[in-house]
Amino acid sequence: MTTEPLALVAGGGGFIGGHLVAELLARGYAVRSVDVKPEAEWYQRFEDADNRVLDLQRLEACVAAVDGVDEVYNLAADMGGMGFIESNRALCMLSVLINTHLLEAAIAARVGRFFYASSACVYAAQHQTSPDVTALREADAYPAMPEDGYGWEKLFSERMCRHFREDFGLETRVARFHNVYGPHGTWTGGREKAPAAICRKVSEAVRSGSGEIEIWGDGEQTRSFMYIDDCVKGVVDIAHSDIVEPINLGSSELVTINQLVDIVEGIAGVTLERRYRLDAPQGVRGRNSDNTMILDRLGWEPSIPLKEGLETTYRWIDEHVGAASEAPAA
């Protein structure tokens, strides 16, 4: 008699975690979804999963979370967009407790596989000073000079995964996420990332008739953005691969923030006056994903076009903006 494997999704109440829970359930897994937020605040919640509210910064919570688990997917972190991580460096650093305690608990529980969600924020700043950026190769994380706070925590946690694999035999896998977006993501409140923020601002401008939009920076900073469906496929494929070193998981479709606004305006059918806030947080000048390794090792790369992903994302956010505007005042 065979039983389905049990997967722990740490951060299962978050944006990417919720989509991953759905994917693993669809693949026949039993899933334990754990998050520190009250269940009423989870982005998605699935009755078929074992849903638990636990503070994974605490070792005893991690021990309970991994009990009987075959695979761990650690997506849990205190994070947000550039406005959040530049103002909350200590909180971002404290996420190191989650990964450290999960690794310890996974060893004791003899977990088979451990996936860690890292970030392109680990890359050294000197490679990201121009909008016309050379796509970042995995080796560009060293010599180390990552994003202060959040990036340092991610890079240190990558090393923890490496050494737990080398010293204790835990099969760890690490993917460096590049700007994930899509429905069910944070779209307001200060933790949202650029695609969601732009979608919200365009929707609000359309609904209010203001005719204008505020853009952080001069709009010429460049990024690549990966749609959530590509991200989830990459996570599962990397987790079950033989790729032991950190690997990029991101789109290689590079755009300026101004071009991102162009696309969303096109979806909404408007042209807005742009006000540039040059003193706002904007991160590095340019960042893109070099997908040579993932193409070589998996024969695949994230490839859902930005316009296609933004169509779905904008419609979802626009619906929520509308619902929020119609809600009675508290």
Identify each DSSP E strand in the chain by its residue range: 6-10, 30-35, 50-53, 71-74, 113-119, 171-177, 180-181, 212-216, 222-224, 226-227, 247-249, 254-256, 273-277
Which residue of the set 73, 116, 150, 227 is catalytic? 150
Q: Is 138 helix (H, G, I), strand (E, B) or coil?
A: helix
Sign of the dihedral defined by the CA atoms of residues 157, 152, 14, 232, in that order:
negative
Whole-angstrom distance, CA of residue 322 vs CA of residue 320: 5
Answer yes or no: are the C-beta atoms of 271 and 117 closer than 8 Å.
Answer: no
Answer yes or no: are the C-beta atoms of 16 and 180 closer than 8 Å.
Answer: yes
Question: Residue 205: which residues within 8 A CB-CB, separation 6 or more?
Answer: 211, 212, 213, 270, 272
Phi/psi region, residue 243 (left: phi>0; alpha: psi -120 to 50; beta: rest), is beta
User: Tokens 């080398």 correspond to what residue?
Assistant: 166
150 is catalytic: yes
Catalytic residues: 150
